[in-house]
Structures are given as structure tokens and as C-alpha cells.
Amino acid sequence: MGKDVFGERSSGVLLHVTSLPGPFGSGDVGPDAHRFVDFLASAGQRFWQMLPVSPPGAGDSPYDSASAFAGSPFLVSLELLAEDGLLEPSELAVSRRLEAGSRALYPASRRVRGRRLRSAFSRFRARAGWSGLLSRFSEENADWLPDYSLFRALHRAHGRVSWTRWDQALVRREPAALERARADLADEVALEVFVQYEFARQWARLREHAKERGVLLLGDVPMFVAHDSADVWTHQSLFRLSPNGERTAVAGVPPDYFSADGQLWGNPVYDWNALRSTAYGFWVSRLKRSLERFDALRLDHFIGFHRFWEVPATATSARDGHFVEGPGHDLFQVLEQRLGGLPFLAEDLGVVTDGVVRLREAFNLPGMRVLAFAFAGSYREYQPHRYPRRVVAYSGTHDNDTLVGWLTQFEREQDPLRQQSLRAERARALAYAGSDGHEAHWDLVRMLYASAADTVIVPLQDLLGLGSDARMNVPGTATGNWRYRTPASVFGPDLAERLAGLAETYERLPDGQRQRA
């Protein structure tokens, strides 16, 4: 896979694509994504880290997708479609309320984008050779696209109910039923292939632009997949399911920092014995696909590869679960051989046992350190002066409060003892950073940049000093998440100069990416 992307001092910014500005209610991979790459290059940043770019699922979550392989239709740029002559300029005129604000407007954005994608498809079909283009694209992605496009068409045809409630012949994937559905829904299937074709073309443009500017794209691969997905419908034997396709066990995490009751995710758990019998073909194909889009990948919930928290499907709390052994070394040996290398970051947060550490170290994968955990009492290994080189250090992740929100949480706490504890935590953090509290977020970010960690990544919200209203996700909650958006005005020279100054001072400025005056 070439050079170790985490093997030298560098830094980056965490911002999901939907959080970008733009005129259609949520960000996409069009002009504003290209401008963000330019901003990162001018700021001396090496990495742009994103959340999963697959179709979002329940609660608009990018971690609950209808496919581990497909790109989100709502990340396709309407502006780029217009440049290609597939939309009229008048179709880009939408309500001003969809323009960049502090929150993504997902329902309205989906309606606007969905209608215009259909219009673009109609014009695409009027072009000579359109069918051949889509057929070749589908053949090139034969391991997932035909099943995914049919799944999406069937999902709409059945009123978007779970695939387990379809006709039994379709649930069982009887060949005659699949062929009949593919013929009956040919236009809808072709629409889905077209959307993925355009996503792939636009993504390739973005990645090439990033390459030219010296910016690496860091993706995110969820450990589990959604039950109501093309993946599970297509590969039922690889998951713990009943004969009618329902889950018999679901994934989650035990009680931890984020939730006193743990988290009940609801994803079906893998049948790792069945996966092993296929030489982990599903995972090999999945990661190959992801590495066609990204330079490196964050493996979400890495501890699940060592052991995962399994909960009976009938349980109402994650407390009712237990740990089950994962595939461990066996999987990563196969991946290393089939992929030619492992450009992965291990998200090793949570209950980290010696077995998790041994698995990560056996394949030389960097782990994570999160500054927001560093001053809570028992998390001393998260303090920057203790970081080893081979880690990626964060101020916080998409699951954390922002730095400013974290530092001021005592103001919102009603319990006196908890409030006292949070005040003490804040005091320890400010003392550690030598901060007077005026710009505590920058003082803490400076501590990260000064650390021995080879790679530092900071969410944009922390660079902007935003409070809890800008938080991306609150684990254990089903609504109101994933909605943060930023205005275009923040990507100016002042922020770029300040970031580049930190990168230069602490030897994180990539060679050739930006020449300082």
C-alpha cells in the first residue's frame, strides 16, 4: 500500500462532508468540498477526516447505512451535475433557508436533491450510449452494486419497510423472484446505478484535487452494518439471523464513559465462523472499496475485532449483554495479505484489554488518544505528555462534546457533587495547558500539537471555539444528531495562518504542501 501515512509528524481536521456549507441544506462533494481541501492545504494540514460517506440511515446517522459499499446519494453535488449539463441553472435556485446555517436541514435537502437526481437521470438517459455506461459500471462493481440497486428499488416499492417483511420469495432471494423484480423495477434499478456512477465520478474528482494539494482523505469504517441493508439481505448467512431474517442477537457496548447503561446499537452481529469459511470475503471487498476512496481508514470500534458486546435481540438494555470472542489475528492476517498493507487507524476507545493492545500492536496499527478524557481522574494515559509516537491524538471525536462544551459543562449540571467534580476537571485541564481560560480551546489544541503523537486531528468545532450546540453526536440518543454545519466564512486566511503556524512550530507542516513566508 506504499508509504506509512501515519509514520511522520502531521495534523488534520475532522469535518464530515454534510457539515460543509452550500446551497442545498447539507454539504456534498462539490465546489465547497474542493474549497475545503484548498483551505486545509493553505493551513498546512495533511489529513481531512470524515465520517462514513455511505447512505445515512435511521436518525440520519452515517453509521446506520443501507450499504457498506455505496456512496450517499445526498453527497452527490447538484452543482457538478449542472456543470455536466444534467441539470438546468434554474434547478439550482432553491429556498434561501437551505443555504448554509448552523444546522443541516436533512428532510428538505433530501426532497430537493432527490427530485433533481431524477431530473438528471432523465437527461442522462437521453444521451447516446447511456445504457452501456451504466452496464459497464455495474459490471465493474459486480460484488455489490447489482444487489444494492435492486435492494433500494425494492425498498421503495415496499413502502420502505424492512426487507424481512417483503414477499418470502424475495426474503429468501429465490433467483426467479429476483429476476422478476429486476425486470419490473428496471427504471428504479437504473436510477440507483446512475446515482452511484455520478457519486464515483465526483468522488474521483475530489480525491484527485486533494492529491494535487497534498491532502490525504481519512475515512471511517463502522464495525457493524445495519440490519435493514443490502449487505444483510444479500449475505444473510454471514449474520446471526433467524430463518425469516430477523436478528437473534444485536451489537452494543457495555456501560462506559458515554452511557451508564451502555449502548444498544441494534446492529446484527456477524457469524464469524461463516465469515472465516469464506476467507472473510465480505470484509476484504468492503475494505478494498473503501480504500478506493480514501488514503487511510479509521476502524470504528476496533475492540470488537478482539471481542464484542453481544445482546439478545429481545433485550431492552445493553446491560443484558456479554462479551464474545471476535476474529482477531486471523482476520487481519488475511486482510494484510489481500490488501497488500493495512493503512488503518484503530479506534481503540472503551474497554481496552491486553488482548486489544496485542492485536493492534501485532499489526503496527496506531491507536487513539482523546484529550477530552485526560482529566477525568482515571484516564492519565490520555494526557499529552504520556502519548507514544504511534498514536493519533484528538481533542475529541464526533461522539464527544466540543472542547468549549466540555469545559463549561459544570454550568449546566444540576447535581452539586457532579458539578464540583466537573469544576475540578476543568481546573486540571486549564492548569495543564497553562491557560487563563480566555482561549482555552486553543491552549489545549496547542498541547496536542506539542505532544509526541505523530498525528493530531482536531474537529473543526474545536478550532472555532464552539459550544455544545455544535456537537455532532450524543451517543445513546436517536434524534437531533449529525446536524452541525459551518458557514463558508470560517475558511479564511486568519484561521489558516493560525493552524499553519502551529503545524510549523511543532514540525507538523508537510513538505511541499505550504511554504511559509
Catalytic residues: 300, 347, 399
Asked if residue 25 lies in contact with residue 108, where contact means CB atoms within 8 angstroms, the answer is yes
Q: How many angstroms separate the CA atoms of 106 and 481, rounded?
A: 11
Per-residue CA distances from 83 to 23, 80, 88, 92 (Å):
16, 5, 9, 11
322-325 sheet: strands from edge to edge: 263-268, 249-253, 307-312, 322-325
Secondary structure (3-state) at 441: helix
Give 194: exposed, middle or buried? Use CB within 10 Å, 0-12, 13-18, 19+. Answer: buried
Phi-psi group of 72: left, alpha or beta (phi > 0 → left; psi -120 to 50 → alpha; rest → beta): beta
Q: How many angstroms separate the CA atoms of 444 and 458, rounded?
A: 11
Asked if residue 66 lies in contact with residue 75, where contact means CB atoms within 8 angstroms, the answer is no
Q: How many angstroms separate the CA atoms of 272 and 501, rounded?
A: 48
Cα 97 from chain centroid (whole Å): 26
Asked if residue 312 lies in contact with residue 320, where contact means CB atoms within 8 angstroms, the answer is yes
Q: How many angstroms separate the CA atoms of 75 and 29, rounded?
A: 6
